[in-house]
Amino acid sequence: MKPIYDEQYTYVFHSPGIEPWISGFLKSKSFLGRVLDVGCGLGSSALMLKLYLGNVEYLVGVDISSEKIRKAERLNLYDELHVIDIRNFNPEQQFDTIIALEVLHGLPADALMHIESLVKKGGSIVLALPAFPSGIDAKGLIKGGYKVYRYLLRGFVLIDLKSYDIYLACRSRFLRAIKLFLTILMPLLKVTGILEKGYILAFK
């Protein structure tokens, strides 16, 4: 799966970064169905899911902060909100889509294992990881069926950590020069393992 940078999203929300790549992935799905937003915080992801993408049947948010949940409630976009540690969340129904953005890096590996148990067979999971959780690395995610990308330059560049293909947000002269530079450096970057130590996006 080639990652898709959703330029239209940047026009609507004026937001370069992880969101256009996440939106591009979710847009490729005709129907997101029941969606779980792990670590939903103040509810910013609900704006993308419900107001921008719109192909969400039912949206559930969970967070350990009761204060953030109260503020998320004011958006009136979630169908359910729960104050709970994701590892203790055991809903009756599984989800078609799960997003966990900048929430798992401080938790042990069993948190991701629990999240994966909550998604339906053939469902989608989106992870944004400023750092890897303990016990998880890029190779483990790839082996588990994820497409894993190193996120660079505020999201204007992604590097596939399996094929080491380089993807650009746009075809500007500057970014093409960056791609050439990274291509030249790639053997060194692969040997040092430096690409596995930064911000990661993973899609499944």
Global confidence as pTM: 0.89
What is the chain's pLDDT, residue by residue, as a tens digit (204 residues)? 678 766 655 544 445 578 889 999 998 888 899 999 999 999 989 998 998 888 899 999 999 999 999 999 999 999 999 999 999 999 999 999 999 998 988 788 889 999 999 999 999 999 999 888 888 899 999 999 999 999 888 888 999 999 999 999 888 899 999 999 999 999 999 999 889 888 999 999
Cα angle 148, 150, 153 (rounded to 5 degrees) comes to 150
- Please report the sign of the dihedral spanned by the C-alpha atoms of residue 37, residue 141, residue 202, residue 119: negative
Give the chain's domains with CATH numbers: 7-203 (3.40.50.150)
Cα separation, 25 vs 39, in Å, equals: 20
Please tell me the distance from the alpha carbon of residue 130 to that of residue 104, in angstroms, as a whole number: 9
- Nearest CA to 104 out of 202, 197, 29 is that of 202
